Amino acid sequence: MEQLKGNKYGTHRVIEPKGVLTQAAWKIDNDMTKRYSNEIICDVISLNIDSASFTQIEEACGGDEQKIADMIMGIVAERGKQQNPVTGSGGMFIGKVAYIGEDLKDRDLKVGDKIASLVSLSLTPLKIEKILAVHKDIDRVDIVGQAVLFESGIYAKLPEDMSEPLALAALDVAGAPAQARKLPKEGDSVLILGANGKSGVLCGYEAMKKVGPNGNVVGVVRNPKQVPALMELGVYNKVIVASATEPVAVLEAALEANGGKEYDISICCVNVENCEMSAILPVRDDGIVYFFSMATSFTKAALGAEGIGKDVTMIIGNGYTKDHAEITLNVLRENEKLRKLFDEKYC
């Protein structure tokens, strides 16, 4: 029997409102018995909920794991996807390929391959049968369920030289270190907020390589106890202590760490709200501010920069940069200390 062909971007799965893409849709069709010729269906092993979303869910549930599981089940049952109604963000999954539509048979992929989705759960049709475990410390949920990748959806085969949890932890933030490689130039000064998180340390590593010995990469953390371990990693020239929600304090400490000069680039990897001005304020005119965090408010960033007269280029981290998956996995292959950290902290 001839298979139906869906829209390349998945609009055939939109239930309401019609006329939008699955990201913007309130509800999408997660019926896995429907098989389209240009879709891939995977048996899901784990969901990595994006940090801003998981933080919000955990706080709303008072840290109770069963309540967290129930909330995630409720969101998916209502919307057909894991899209946090407060943050609007999702995450990613790892799973085993269960079905490949006829139109996608020419891809380097076969049933049984383990892959990581590199598109957000906020646009991915997802059906959860049961939640097996909630790992609060690493924002991960193990499930029994299925998910759909559209023709336009990007993914990465899980590498054979590292464990599934390790690869997932890195690929979850793959867009950030790839941008940290692309944006700076030799000799630049780079400020990284949220320096102790997954995306922060990977960005620091790539930025240090790019700016070279004449550059300056400075990390910002709120907890002074994190400083020695970060310096031992070797991914920052300096680490300063300040809350990213307090822009004046960040500015003062950041300028002191950069010889009184404003920065060429800042990268915001913080998973809480109201950090926009801490990323903008320390950057020079004509500099770059890269917002990787899904907690970022476009309104606060735009009006805030205008309000202080800062002519900066502000980039929204869209989670995708060319070759970002391989770039990020290679960081763990190149740096034994980072790989050990990820193994111990996120696996």
Side chain identity, residue 97 = V
* Token pair listed for 37: 């010729």
How is 48-70 classified by DSSP, letter by letter?
Answer: EE-HHHHHHHHHHTTT-HHHHHH
With 0-12 CB in 10 A as exposed, 13-18 as middle and 19+ as buried, what is 136? middle
Tell me the three state secondary structure of residue 255. helix
Q: Tell me what pLDDT residue 52 has.
A: 87
- Is 167 in contact with 116 (CB distance < 8 Å)? yes
- Is 101 in contact with 35 (CB distance < 8 Å)? yes
Domain ranges (residues) in the chain: 11-158, 175-346
Q: Tell me what pLDDT residue 271 has.
A: 84
Cα separation, 230 vs 110, in Å, equals: 40
What does the pLDDT look like over 89-112, one tens digit per residue?
999 999 999 999 999 999 999 999
Which portions of the chain are predicted below pLDDT 70?
A: 1-2
Cα separation, 312 vs 131, in Å, equals: 44
Cα separation, 198 vs 209, in Å, equals: 17
Q: Tell me what pLDDT residue 168 has.
A: 84
Cα separation, 312 vs 145, in Å, equals: 44
Cα separation, 199 vs 338, in Å, equals: 12
What does the pLDDT look like over 35-93, one tens digit per residue?
999 999 999 999 999 988 999 999 999 999 999 999 999 999 999 999 999 999 999 99
The CATH fold assigned to 175-346 is Quinone Oxidoreductase; Chain A, domain 1 (3.90.180)
Is the peptide bond prior to 17 cis by the omega test (within 30 degrees of 0)? yes
Place of tokens 């609007």: 88
Instruction: Measure CA of the first residue to CA of the last residue in the chain; give whole Å.
Output: 43
Alpha helix ranges (H) inside the chain: 51-60, 65-79, 164-171, 175-182, 198-211, 227-233, 247-256, 276-280, 298-307, 324-334, 336-346
